[in-house]
Amino acid sequence: QKEVEQNSGPLSVPEGAIASLNCTYSDRGSQSFFWYRQYSGKSPELIMSIYSNGDKEDGRFTAQLNKASQYVSLLIRDSQPSDSATYLCAVRRTGGGADGLTFGKGTHLIIQP
């Protein structure tokens, strides 16, 4: 059974600090990895995608992927109160056919002013 594991938190980080969110997955056939942000009562919003080992940076966000360790992380630099949300890690086995996302339960992040 495919599983995606995240620490549910809450993870509390001071404003301006770096928030580090982690995710592990069990399906070695996973090829695409995503981070979604979900505010309370809202739908998931895609913030980062990563497909190959290493780091991918986009503004204050950096996604890191290590396929050998089956590990994905998201770093948020200069954390702002508006970053307070639940962050969902999602993985996908691509290559045609069934390719729906498998989500973790999410990490609740709180940025303290």
Partner 1 sequence: EAGVAQSPRYKIIEKRQSVAFWCNPISGHATLYWYQQILGQGPKLLIQFQNNGVVDDSQLPKDRFSAERLKGVDSTLKIQPAKLEDSAVYLCASSAITEAFFGQGTRLTVV
Report DSSP letters for 41-87, one per residue.
TS--EEEEEE-SSEEEEETTEEEEEETTTTEEEEEESS--GGG-EEE
CA distance 73 to 33: 10
Interaction between residue 92 and partner 1 (CB under 8 A)? yes
Of 19, 65, 85, 88, the residue at the interface with partner 1 (CB under 8 A) is 88
Which residue in 21, 39, 19, 35 sits closest to 85, CA to CA?
Answer: 39
Interaction of residue 61 with partner 1, rule CB under 8 A: no
The binder of partner 1 chosen from 19, 34, 73, 76 (CB under 8 A): 34
**Among residues 20, 56, 75, 103, the one that binds partner 1 under rule CB under 8 A:** 103
Q: Which is nearer to partner 1, 71 or 103 (CB)?
A: 103
Least separation in angstroms between residue 113's CB and partner 1 is 26
Among the listed residues 24, 49, 67, 110, the single contact to partner 1 using CB under 8 A: 49
* Contact status: 58 vs partner 1 (CB under 8 A): no
Whether 4 and 21 have beta carbons less than 8 Å apart is answered as no
Q: How many C-beta atoms lie closer than 10 Å to residue 63's C-beta? A: 23
Shortest Cβ distance from residue 62 to partner 1 (Å)?
18
